[in-house]
Structure 1
């Protein structure tokens, strides 16, 4: 992207100040919006949307062109699906607005849902005005239904499964019966065409570790997250929304706890469909991360009414804003669990405080005593106080169609041997594992045991994420424009109360400490070195599965499911070390993927956003 100068805009259309910063560099655009609490929430929301839309209109257009417009026009099947999806989202939008009017005054959650869509309406208005101000002659207009579609990106894969199995299939069966009644011969459909379709793409990867160092009683958090998505979607924006919303439309009500939300996202989308958030505010400091989980039990969809669904991004943003702790965040997320097969973890950074010195000394004494003495009342009270203090530190929330399971798992994370959790698409809770029909992942335990001791800093987490990533463009003639398209790294040191965050954009590749020119790596002199690196990556535990299709992008027609052959997996992982992704290198294999506004080569360093306010 071209590097633009920082733009700070004071916008007085509604007779009050919005503070807005936007610039683009290092593959991540960056947006910062702050509103004033003295104005009605709907004005804050709508005005913030106008500002963002007017300044990012070109990014929004390119993102829509690369993903929604390109995918929906690919073939007749895609057109039919998108027509159904747009109608569904339009109807749901009308219902959501009506419900928000009825409940928003007394229901904090619904008030925030209303504000999400007010901001989206402002975004569309700002987009139109921004393009007009720039005197741009765009090829197509973006209808509001496609703004809704962009913001339902996290739900599209689930809705595709529902459509294929319960809308398209039932519609065709009805048509076949009608044709048979008229005496017309009907060609029998093949078993592949009638079998249930379930499209689980390679999952994002998420790593969470909470531990203590030998020289300090305080806790540390390491967190890594890598999004899995279409390469066409790689126009990226890091956003910071500092919205002083209230709990209700009444301005005399308190402002919400989650005022300050930072997340990685995309143009035209008001939440992180990456599912990575840093939330701050009055007595709140937390992170929220999520990945997709597998679901082999399509019968779960039979109990779901998709006309009652809320976009996942709107639900998460509402929970981020109104939650005073991790328990209330989980409770808010449990509302309307219709779409979004997801696995979430949320950590309360305020609870990563030093342990009680008395408890530490007691633990040391027990190590040296053959039989520990019974605790007196004071000692027992200290231990109970520690337990209560750590309660609520970590919650895991899992969702399948129409189902939600949420639990405080703080004690498991603080017990030592369970301090690391690697989320890789397999349900965490036994109940959800059984409901999904997914087999337990034994490779997870082996992977955890092999790497746990090495995960002591963000550099190690970064290396882990890269070694276990997926690059769909590295599979030769079977290449697909899909894979892990970023890495986010976050740490928090409770002893000094400082966090560290940075992110990489683009399909991942192995970064060597001593980077050599590309030509040198390919030369004879470095063949042995490259072979050594490749052998370290050739790991049978790195098995993934993908859906076989012409391309794996949003809304694409997917035909059947198969596993990636181990030899193709090994080739793909070996080539990760060869260098960054280039569109020009896959042009002969992947010809119909739009990538307007993208650089040819995604070879960017880490970015740690520096906010203006």
Structure 2
């Protein structure tokens, strides 16, 4: 078992045992700029502080964790793709190691650790992940010259470099390599694991019935003057150590095609130790913006389609599609391959190549919508609906009737009522009513941070006591629901969960990989979240500020 250790070499954690360094060691400030380069005397990949002209990968990090931290990782075209990928992971780990440690402690410590590893579920999970990795590596060995498997290999090499850089044990693999199934791969597989818990019969599930994960809105402004794209992450509050990342990777499409990948540069909201967004919200050099909200699966019969062979985990298909696609249709085609049936989402792909501000015509291809459940992927061009309604809203309920019914949503509506319906759920109604007030960036931010559950009749839950419910809003605040209330299903209970951010971009901002962003639960119409006064003050939240009252910031890059 690979130990997860800091750049200093001190053992921080191991999933076969736990050892924490002293607080004084953790207070050391990580270098803000690091370069990975080839030492000409030893031939080894070496990391040093500062910027070097001969870098393989260069990382620049700004730690402003009381709002957002910022990370840029750039690789050089002078080196082959594989060494670029490995070096990119290594320098990211070296420059963000302190946050990676804290985020692991807050969110993953103890998951299938020493006290629970011998349970049947953890053994099944390890076997599943190990078998899946072996199958993926076999495909890479056989088909590594194709674009799909070349990009998959680069992502896994970046993850390998992340682990090795964190351990300060860099050794670029000159052949087949292994990934620790219970190492930093778990940071990448958070969404996949929520579904694997059900598929592998975990006795206590992480996600309660009806639990949403994210709100999204695509809004066409009056007179076609702009197309705004926005996303709220819904997550546990322990996850709120956040990093805005920009990767600029000089990758080729494949070893046989030296053309640059369309999505070689990407800006995205992310977390320590994650090489993709996870939220997900991406601004790509292809002029695509990709985002999703989780739709899940409530039909247990479908879990039979979740198998470790023939499947690529969602996080990895996500990365490959973002790199290779130059249009929404291409993105959907790439992503649909090797459906894992895990982290089942509604994806929206906005193609700014097809949008001309001020031109009262919306060309086909501006909006592609894809939905995935176990055994089934559906996608189509929904530009006409965006044109007719003026917006597209996404709120954890499937759009396509086949997906809606196959995933069990129809049965949930029959049992619990319109809360689970596409048209009458609280967020569907709030989006429909409030989107008409959006005329600019500020009004878009206000809607995406909206939670007036005490006064808004659309936030009421007739079957709940009390009726007002903090989950029923665009940016949820489940922590505000009374612990002694009565609720028809788990999503409406008091939980350390809610909208943990907001990101949005526009036609002009996306050209510079820019966005407006807010970190933390909304406090616009409700009291701020404060760890020390909340019911969850004893939960691990290392590195967090106590009170979350941050304003929107404009994320720009040098």
Alignment TM class, shorter chain as reference? 0.7 to 0.9
> In structure 2, what is the Cα distance between the partners aligned to 1:610 and 1:355?
25
The secondary structure found in structure 2 opposite 1:577 is coil
What aligned pairs does 1:218-257 form with structure 2 within 5 A after superposition?
A: 218-250=224-256, 253-257=258-262
Counterpart among 11, 21, 39 of residue 36 in structure 2:
11
Counterpart among 16, 34, 52 of residue 92 in structure 2:
52
Q: Which residue of 2 aligns with 1:457?
A: 440
Q: Which has the larger radius of gyration?
A: 1
Within the alignment, does 1:432 sit opposite 2:472 as a pair? no
The secondary structure found in structure 1 opposite 2:279 is coil
Q: Which residue of 1 aligns with 2:393?
A: 422
Counterpart among 347, 350, 355 of residue 353 in structure 2:
350
What aligned pairs does 1:492-511 form with structure 2 within 5 A after superposition?
A: 492=507, 501-510=515-524
Q: Which residue of 2 aligns with 1:206?
A: 216
Q: Which has the higher contact order (CA 8 A, sep 6+)?
A: 1
The secondary structure found in structure 1 opposite 2:260 is coil
Within the alignment, does 1:335 sit opposite 2:337 as a pair? yes
Q: Which residue of 2 aligns with 1:371?
A: none
Counterpart among 470, 481, 488 of residue 496 in structure 2:
481
Residue pair 1:395, 1:410 contacting (<8 A) in 2 also: yes
The secondary structure found in structure 2 opposite 1:443 is coil
State the Cα RMSD in Å: 3.0
5+ residue gaps in structure 2?
1-25, 41-53, 171-178, 414-420, 451-472, 485-493
TM-score (structure 1 length as normaliser)? 0.70
Structure 1 residues 400 and 265 mapped into 2: Cα distance closer, same or farther (>3 Å)? same
The secondary structure found in structure 1 opposite 2:108 is helix
Q: Which residue of 2 aligns with 1:544?
A: none
TM-score (structure 2 length as normaliser)? 0.77
Question: How much does 1:275 deviate?
Answer: 0.7
What aligned pairs does 1:530-545 form with structure 2 within 5 A after superposition?
A: none
34-43 or 63-72, which deviates more: 63-72
37-46 or 500-509, which deviates more: 500-509
Residue pair 1:68, 1:146 contacting (<8 A) in 2 also: no
Q: Which residue of 1 aligns with 2:160?
A: 121
> In structure 1, what is the Cα distance between the partners aligned to 2:258 and 2:131?
31
Aligned length: 464
Question: How much does 1:301 deviate?
Answer: 1.5
Question: How much does 1:10 deviate?
Answer: 3.3
Q: Which residue of 1 aligns with 2:281?
A: 276
Residue pair 2:129, 2:308 contacting (<8 A) in 1 also: no
> In structure 2, what is the Cα distance between the partners aligned to 1:441 and 1:393?
22
Residue pair 2:516, 2:554 contacting (<8 A) in 1 also: yes
Within the alignment, does 1:577 sit opposite 2:550 as a pair? no
Structure 1 residues 508 and 150 mapped into 2: Cα distance closer, same or farther (>3 Å)? same
Residue pair 1:493, 1:499 contacting (<8 A) in 2 also: no
Spell out, residue by residue over 1:150-190, the C-alpha distance to the aligned partner (whole angstroms, 9 max, x if none).
111121111111122xxx68xxxxxxxxxxxxxxxxxxxxx
> In structure 1, what is the Cα distance between the partners aligned to 2:477 and 2:323?
35
Question: How much does 1:405 deviate?
Answer: 0.4
Structure 1 residues 473 and 71 mapped into 2: Cα distance closer, same or farther (>3 Å)? farther
Q: Which residue of 1 aligns with 2:104?
A: 64
> In structure 2, what is the Cα distance between the partners aligned to 1:240 and 1:42?
19
The secondary structure found in structure 2 opposite 1:69 is coil
> In structure 2, what is the Cα distance between the partners aligned to 1:326 and 1:442?
25
> In structure 1, what is the Cα distance between the partners aligned to 2:244 and 2:255?
28
Q: Which residue of 2 aligns with 1:135?
A: none
Structure 1 residues 313 and 327 mapped into 2: Cα distance closer, same or farther (>3 Å)? same
> In structure 2, what is the Cα distance between the partners aligned to 1:126 and 1:459?
41
Counterpart among 317, 320, 334 of residue 318 in structure 1:
320
Question: How much does 1:100 deviate?
Answer: 1.0
Question: How much does 1:4 deviate?
Answer: 7.5
Structure 1 residues 103 and 267 mapped into 2: Cα distance closer, same or farther (>3 Å)? same
Question: How much does 1:592 deviate?
Answer: 5.2
The secondary structure found in structure 1 opposite 2:263 is coil
